Amino acid sequence: MGPLVPQEIIGADWNLFIAFVIGIGFGFVLEQAGFSSSRKLAGMFYGYDTVVLKVFFTAAITAMLGLLFFSLFGWIDLNLIYVNPTFLGSAIVGGIIMGAGFIIGGFCPGTSVCAAAIGKIDAMIFIGGIVLGIFFFAEGYPLLKDFYMSGSMGPLKVSDVFGISGGVLALIVIIVALLMFKLGELAEKRWPREEY
Partner 1 sequence: MKTKYMNPYLAGVLLGLVLLMAFFFSGRGLGASGAVKSVVVAAVDVVAPEHTANSGYYSKYVGEGKSPMKAWLVFEMIGVLVGGFLSGAFSGRLKWKVEHFPGITANRRLIFAGMGGILFGFGSQLGRGCTSGSALTGMASLSVAGFVSMMAIFGTAFALAFFLRKNWI
CA 108 to chain CA centroid, Å, is 9
Q: Is the peptide bond before 3 cis (omega within 30 degrees of 0)?
A: yes
Cβ atoms of 37 and 196 within 8 Å: the answer is yes
Distance CA 123, CA 167 (A): 38
Of 10, 172, 174, 187, the residue at the interface with partner 1 (CB under 8 A) is: 10
4 binds partner 1 (CB under 8 A): yes
- In the range 59-88, which residues lie near partner 1 by CB under 8 A? 59-64, 66-67, 70, 75-76, 80-88
Cβ atoms of 53 and 184 within 8 Å: the answer is yes
Within 10 A of 71 (CB to CB), how many other CB atoms are there? 16
90 binds partner 1 (CB under 8 A): yes
Q: Give me the least distance between CB of 189 and partner 1, in Å please.
A: 10
Q: Give me the least distance between CB of 178 and partner 1, in Å please.
A: 11
Of 11, 13, 99, 176, the residue at the interface with partner 1 (CB under 8 A) is: 99
Q: Give me the least distance between CB of 186 and partner 1, in Å please.
A: 14
180 binds partner 1 (CB under 8 A): no
DSSP-derived secondary structure letter, 85: P
Distance CA 73, CA 34 (A): 34
179 binds partner 1 (CB under 8 A): no
- In the range 107-136, which residues lie near partner 1 by CB under 8 A? 107-123, 125-136
Size of the chain, expressed as the number of residues it contains: 196
Q: Which residues contact 70 (CB under 8 A, 6 or more apart)?
A: 2, 76
28 binds partner 1 (CB under 8 A): yes
Q: Give me the least distance between CB of 161 and partner 1, in Å please.
A: 6
- In the range 138-177, which residues lie near partner 1 by CB under 8 A? 138-139, 141-142, 144-145, 147-148, 153, 155-159, 161, 166, 169-170, 173
Q: Give me the least distance between CB of 140 and partner 1, in Å please.
A: 9
Is the Cα torsion angle 29, 33, 34, 39 positive or negative in sign? negative
